């Protein structure tokens, strides 16, 4: 007796019923999404709930993340990295979007680049390349830590970074990478500098630790610093009682005495003229 024909009809009915049930479920899902979309951020909540349920299911199936290896971080903590990447205790390795996580990590100013590898069955590797703190930038009384390209890394200064060179003024963070390498050629001058001030976003003034202001030209800073280093070595220029050293002109060096030194010079000159008049 052939039973295939006997059961073919009921099987088709069950198949049609399952298909309708799946379609009905799809309609319910679309309705939920549409409702969520009509209610603003409820769509995000619906999607988040669906993703959480999916991750929980795959986690229970043995595709959760059991091991996380992080490398390259110094200023960004492990907890911060995981939070930015969207990794939680129930994250599924199977559905984890590594490229999206990489882009999220790169939003942090400390992180220049990131690499994320999913190693099945249950390991995630996160490697980052951090920017290097290059200088401190002061603008309108606020000091930030900046990278060589001018990126603001931190809006405050950690104790371990207070010895970085200080630059001041609007636009100084974008031009410091041109100044500091030149200053490094003249360590005898560099070590005397307290702050480098960008004037009108065109040229630099160096404020020395002893209060002297050195005015540099817009171009050919190296030649000006070379002259200054020579005068400091041969004439002890930067040890004298002066207020300003002006190097903006190539063919001369102008010096302004401090008020005390200027007064002493005026008194000496006056005394000299008196003696000359008396001898006459």
Residue 233 sits at φ, ψ, to 5 deg, of -75, -45
CATH number at residue 190: 3.40.50.11690
Same domain, 140 and 251: yes
In 39-65, which ranges are continuous DSSP H helix? 42-58
- In contact, 135 and 166? CB cutoff 8 Å: yes
Q: Residue 116: which domain range?
A: 60-130
More confident residue, 123 or 31: 123
Pairing of the two strands 166-168 and 135-139: parallel
Q: Among 94, 85, 102, 84, which residue's Cα sits nearest to residue 64?
A: 94
pTM: 0.71
pLDDT digits (tens, 9 = 90+) for 71-118: 999 999 999 999 999 998 888 888 889 999 999 999 999 999 999 999
Residues 185 and 238: their CA atoms lie apart, in Å, by: 18
- In contact, 152 and 144? CB cutoff 8 Å: yes
pLDDT digits (tens, 9 = 90+) for 155-168: 999 999 999 999 99
Same domain, 198 and 162: yes
Same domain, 126 and 172: no
Residues 37 and 33: their CA atoms lie apart, in Å, by: 6
CATH number at residue 98: 3.10.20.310
Q: Among 194, 171, 196, which residue's Cα sits nearest to residue 181?
A: 196
Same domain, 91 and 202: no
> ∠100-105-111 over CA atoms, to 5°?
145
In a domain, 277, yes or no: no
In a domain, 219, yes or no: yes
Number of domains into which the chain is organized: 2
In a domain, 118, yes or no: yes
């Amino acid at each position: 007796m052939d039973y295939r024909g006997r059961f073919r009809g009921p099987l088709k009915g069950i198949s049609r019923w399952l298909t309708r049930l799946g379609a009905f479920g799809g309609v319910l899902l679309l309705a939920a999404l549409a409702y969520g979309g009509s209610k603003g951020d409820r769509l995000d909540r619906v999607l988040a709930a669906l993703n959480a349920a999916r991750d929980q299911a795959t986690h229970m199936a043995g595709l959760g993340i059991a091991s996380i290896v992080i490398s390259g971080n110094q200023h960004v903590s492990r907890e911060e990295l995981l939070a930015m990447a969207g990794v939680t205790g129930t994250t599924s390795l199977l559905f984890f979007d590594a490229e999206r996580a990489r882009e999220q990590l790169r939003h942090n100013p400390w992180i220049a680049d990131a690499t994320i590898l999913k190693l099945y069955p249950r390991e995630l590797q996160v490697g980052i390349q951090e920017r290097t703190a290059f200088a401190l930038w002061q603008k309108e009384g606020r000091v930030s830590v900046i990278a060589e390209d001018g990126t603001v890394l931190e809006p405050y200064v950690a104790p371990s970074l207070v010895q970085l060179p200080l630059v001041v003024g609007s636009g100084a963070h974008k031009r410091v990478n041109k100044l500091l390498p030149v200053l490094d050629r003249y360590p005898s001058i560099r070590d005397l500098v307290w702050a480098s001030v960008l004037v009108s976003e065109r040229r630099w003034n160096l404020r020395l630790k002893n209060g002297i202001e050195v005015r540099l030209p817009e171009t050919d800073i190296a030649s000006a610093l070379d002259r200054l280093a020579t005068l400091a070595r041969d004439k002890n220029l930067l040890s004298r009682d002066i207020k300003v050293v002006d190097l903006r002109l190539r063919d001369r060096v102008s010096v302004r005495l401090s008020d005390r030194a200027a007064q002493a010079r005026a008194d000496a000159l006056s005394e000299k003229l008196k003696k000359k008049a008396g001898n006459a």
